[in-house]
Structures are given as C-alpha cells and as structure tokens.
Structure 1
C-alpha cells in the first residue's frame, strides 16, 4: 500500500501537528485563567499538551530502525491518556462528574496500556504490527466510549446538538483505526517502523482536522455556557428589580409601570384594589419582625394563587398591597369576601393571626395615570379603616366620598 508521505514529510507533519496542539493548549489555558469556574478548560488544555508530548516522543524516534522501549511506552501512554483527559473535561463541563459509569474509560485506558506494555515487552521491538494493532484497538474502544458520551450530552439541551458534528468526526477516526487494525492483521509487511506505516499520515491528518474542529466546538460550548450564565444573571437581576422578595409579588416600581402600560392598551375600565393588613404594626411590635415577614409571605402566596386571569399584584411598601383586576365591578364583593376568608385561614396558625384586610377600590379608566387612580383607592382604603377595618370601600370617579362596597362592606 503506497504511503501519502515520505518519512521526512511525516516528520514535518508531526512537527506542525505538535505545534498546533501546543497552540490550542495555550488558548484553553488562557481562557481558564479568566474563567476559573469552567474547570473543563484546564482538562482540555492538559489533553492538548499530553498529545503534543506524544508527538514530541514520535519526533525523537529514528526515521529508520527501532525506537527505544522507553520511547515506545511513553508515546503510547500519552496517546491513551489524551482521550481520558478530554472525557473528564466533558464530564466537568456537563456536570456529570458523579456518573455511575465514570470508571469505564479509565479502566479501558489502564487495561489497554498494561496490554500494550506486555505486548511491547514480549514481542521483539522491531515487531511494530502487534503494537499498532493493540494501540489501535485501545484507541477504538476509547473513541467508541467518547462517541457514546457525546451522544448522551447532546440530548441535554438543543444548544448542544453541535456535538453531533464531533461524533461524526470521531466516527471517522474510529473507522480509520479499525482500518489500520485490519491492514496490519492481513498485511503485516506494511511497516518496518512507525514512519513507514502508510496509514500513519492519514491518521495524523485526521487528528489535525479533528483538533481544529474539536477546538472550535469546545470554544462554542464555552461561549454558549457564558451566554447562558449572562442571561440567567440578567433574568435574576430583572426578577430582583421587578419582584418583591418577601411576598413574591411585583415591586412597586414594576407594578406602577405595568398599570400605566395596561391603562393605555385596555378598552374597558379595570379595577384597582389597595389592601392593608389590619393591625400589622402590632404583630411586629408584639411578635417581632420575623413574625411580620411570615405573615406577609403567607398573604402574598394566597394573593398569587387566587389572582384572576390577566390580573396582577404588587407590594407598594410595608403592609400595603395593590391588585389590578380585569373584572366587572359587580364581581368584586364576592372576590374580596373570598380573599379575606382564604387569607384568614392561611394566617390562622401564625403568630398574630388570623389577620383581616381593609380594602380600597376604584376603577382605573383607559388613558388614566396610575397616580390619579391610586389617590382615589387610597381615600377608599382610609374610609374602610375609619369605619372599623375589615371592610372594603369603593371610590367612584365622580363621587366625593367613598362608599361601602355592597353587599359585603364588612368582610368576614
């Protein structure tokens, strides 16, 4: 079988590939220096340095004649370790360090090297065929396991489907290793040493191609991971800005902004409810602020779970809550009554419970600002408190005085 390269050309190719691996290792190490949280990068960098070391050992071999036993063992130990390091890096990247089958590839690598060492020790050093068959067999098993792992990982999320391209390249490497085994089994006259093996050049070329593609894919994965982290941080910051941490309801700023937006878009009036927890200050004074916080959390959960469709709720500050309901005013008495009952039940076992509500209501008209509606609802809320609390009052747009909400002005 004719070789694609002469021995001297192979030396140049091996040198170029060695430098390429060192360059990729440097890139991964530099990225790890600025992204220490991605431990996979240091494993991938080490993998590139290890395979560069294997090619350095290959460069030290004579073009003709036999390599030393130490060189043979060192070269192939480094080659077998490369896949192990990359696979370990993938486990860290995809957070699968504790995988139950994590022992499989290390076992194959260790067993393969022991078998290779025994073959090299028992066979004459000039018998390169047995060594190539064992090495290619071990590498084939490693590649097959890596393909299986990547196939599992690419199913974790749609963004990881780019790993299918890596499995395709690994499949080509596997095919070439199997072809190498077959050639050396049936045509033992193929090579007198490594540099005269006609399949060594294609193996190295494909290794170079895979290194380039693998580096691109891994860097793409790292970029995707960083983008996901940035988006998660952005969502977290938005949630902190838009959501009250204690009650889980919207913050005052976000609630007011959303009310203003909806007022411009809605075709019919909506209902604004201001809610105060009756005697909430006494709960804080008698039982402490943790008891008050527990009360607010319980009330927030009830409101969130009972909020009608298209409704929204926010905490304006302290124990003052606000709801915006896209509802007919005729349904408000029943809603307020039900809300009071459920909150009383949810807070019955808490310190200072059960707690009652005072509610002020008004209609929010299209194109009306939040402040105007808020002032009317606040007047209604004040009237409910003055009337003895545990009540709901409504402030109509054209009425001077708030009116009790029929038929359940007294919430019970």
Structure 2
C-alpha cells in the first residue's frame, strides 16, 4: 500500500482515535484532569484529519483552514493538559493564538497562499508545543522517565514544526496545500503519525508514574496526621539505627496521651482526632534535623533521634509535654488533665531491631505512666553509663 497523503491521513485518524480512547480509559482509572485534555486533543486531531480528506472534493475552507485550526486547537489542549499536570498558570495571551489563526481567513488567494498558511500553522503549533515542553523541564528529575520522555517528544515535535517553516522561506519551493503537493507536506504526514504514538505513550506513562508515586506516599502516611506510619518507619529506621555509635548515640522516644479517652467520651471522636493532629504537628515542628517520627497507631507516637544525649532528649520531651498540656487545657475541659507520658531509650550500639527498641521504650513508657503520668522516663543504655542501665524520671507539675 503506497503511503500517499490520503493513506497517511487515514492511518493518522486511526492512531489519533486509538490514542484518544486509550487516554480516556486511563482517565476512568486515574481521574487525572490532564488525561481528559490530552484525550480531547487527539480526538480533535482525528476530526481534523478526516476533514482534511475533503480537500479532494474541493472543500478547501473546511479541508485546509478548519482542519488545520483543529490541529492547532489539539496542541493547545496538550499545553493545557501539561499546565494542569504541572500546576502552572497560563496567561490569557495564549488565547490570542486562535485570533491569529482566524485572521488567516482574510488572506487573499494567490501563489503565496499555501506558503503563508503553512508558515502560520507551523509557528502556532510549534509555539504551544515548545511551551508545553518547557513547563515539564523542572519536573524531570522528580517525576521519573515518563515526564522526561514526554518533554523531549514534545520538544522534538515543536522543533520539527519550526523546521517546517524553512522551506516556506526558500524561493521556488513547491507547497500546494490544496493538492497535498510538496515534499514538506509528505514528511509532515509521516512525522504526525509517529508523533501521535510517542506523545500518547509518554502522556500515559507520565500520569501513571505520578499516580504510583502518590499511592506509594499515601501507603507510607497515616491518613489522619499525615505522619509516617509504622510500615514507613520500619523501612526508614535501619539507616538511622545502624549509624548509632558511642560518638553519636541514638534515641527512641515513645509518646502516649494521658486520659485521651476522656476527650473522646466528653467531646466526641472528632475532638480526639483534632488532638492527634495537633500533637502530630507539634512533633513535626519540633523534630530535629535527621530525626524520624511516626504515628504507631491510636494515641501512640514515636520519635527516633540521631546524635542524641540525655539533655537533648529531656529538652525535646519537656517542650512537647509543655506545649501539649497548654493546648489541651485551653481546648478541652476534662476532669483530669490531658497530658503526655514519654518513655525514652538512649543507645550507642545498633539495636537488634526496631521492634526490640520499641519494646524498651514501651517499658520506660509504662514506668512513666505508673509514676503519675505527665512525665518522661529515660533509660540510658549506652556503654558510657554504668554497667546497669541508668534511669531518669522527669515530671511536669
């Protein structure tokens, strides 16, 4: 089968429809608005190519001006989708593209008509495509291979349209849009079919990668406080635990809310959730550099410190207890004070496991609770301490 213009347009129609359907199906799964814009863009390309076939019937206004206008609109939708994806705002000046194309209706017929039409069409398509590529540039490193691929495919597509303007400026070059005559037109049809496949696949990979990363982040976060959950802590803790040494001890602080049930019983579970969120934010703000924090579940939180000392542990624990006590007293009236109990363990050798370290913190936490609550119980298990573990109990009264 000869790759004549009509055949290439038919192939392009089929590819564009397939791409539009493919992206629409992806949208059903991902619900990402860029997919809808990109799907609509490919749908317009298929319609525009269908209208382009009408040139053979003498319908030049529909087959050239309107068909190429749909091509420009399709690429403008690609740009709009990229802007949504990157959360960038487009200036209203981009709507002037349609005004520029509408002005082509005023172009008088003559020997230069096809060249001017091709020149303006190519520049407008190149403009929006290169802008879309530029918007993706700062996201390449953080968003994976899909974004990089889409960026370079759009960049190459835009540069091709820039290159299309060169034959227009060369005297004597044959360009006849009405009859699909001219070598640049033949090359454009082939490039268009190839670009559709590459752009569609890149768009899908781009959104899919972000969706997978989002799911991964959600799986690692506690949905209420947005802190790491236990699974995420277990994945990130080993590096910190293995770095413990006599020169740079590590520490674990296990934090539990005293009389938390009173808040739920007297003020409702929504109030309890607010209390947990507030504590999570206090921990996040007070967290030293290089430390890890997570919500283990219920009203229990954990902090892992590197380069710790008894003084740093007590200072951090006292700060959290004071802030939390003041906030809870102002916000929720309860028969008994809503405070924090903290069990801490200081170590200078990597523990057997995170679970074993949490068990040690749990024992210290129990002693803190038993000693009257609203206190921090620190067990120093470093070699520098005495042969028996040294304990420190500090309460806030």
SS in 2 for 1:368: coil
Answer yes or no: is the 8 Å Cα contact 2:79–2:131 preserved in 1.
Answer: no
Superposition map of 1:115-154 within 5 A: 115-116=106-107, 119=108, 130-154=109-133
Q: Report the equivalent of 1:126.
A: none
> Could you tell me which of 379, 385, 390 is aligned with 2:369?
385
Q: Report the equivalent of 2:222.
A: 244
Answer yes or no: is the 8 Å Cα contact 2:255–2:301 preserved in 1.
Answer: yes
> Could you tell me which of 304, 308, 322 is aligned with 2:284?
304
Q: CA separation of 1:370/1:163 partners in 2, compared to 1, >3 Å: closer, same or farther?
A: closer
Q: CA separation of 1:322/1:402 partners in 2, compared to 1, >3 Å: closer, same or farther?
A: farther
Q: Does structure 1 residue 360 correspond to structure 2 residue 348?
A: no
**Where in structure 1 are there 5+ consecutive unaligned residues?**
1-10, 61-69, 120-129, 185-189
Count of equivalent residues: 363
Answer yes or no: is the 8 Å Cα contact 2:115–2:175 preserved in 1.
Answer: no
Q: Does structure 1 residue 175 correspond to structure 2 residue 186?
A: no
Distance of 1:391 and 1:325 partners within structure 2: 19
Superposition map of 1:5-404 within 5 A: 13-32=4-23, 34-36=25-27, 37-58=35-56, 60=57, 71-95=59-83, 99-113=91-105, 115-116=106-107, 119=108, 130-158=109-137, 159=148, 160-179=151-170, 183=172, 200-219=181-200, 223-260=201-238, 262-268=240-246, 269-326=249-306, 327-352=308-333, 355-364=338-347, 365-395=349-379, 403-404=391-392
Looking at CA atoms only, which structure, 1 or 2, has the larger radius of gyration?
A: 1
Answer yes or no: is the 8 Å Cα contact 1:32–1:42 preserved in 2.
Answer: no
Q: CA separation of 1:247/1:378 partners in 2, compared to 1, >3 Å: closer, same or farther?
A: same
Q: Report the equivalent of 2:142.
A: none
Using the TM superposition, name which of 395-404 and 37-46 deviates more: 395-404
Distance of 2:23 and 2:178 partners within structure 1: 35
TM-score (norm 1): 0.75
Q: CA separation of 1:204/1:333 partners in 2, compared to 1, >3 Å: closer, same or farther?
A: closer
Using the TM superposition, name which of 289-298 and 313-322 deviates more: 313-322
Q: CA separation of 1:82/1:242 partners in 2, compared to 1, >3 Å: closer, same or farther?
A: closer
Q: CA RMSD for the aligned pairs?
A: 3.4
Distance of 1:101 and 1:334 partners within structure 2: 56
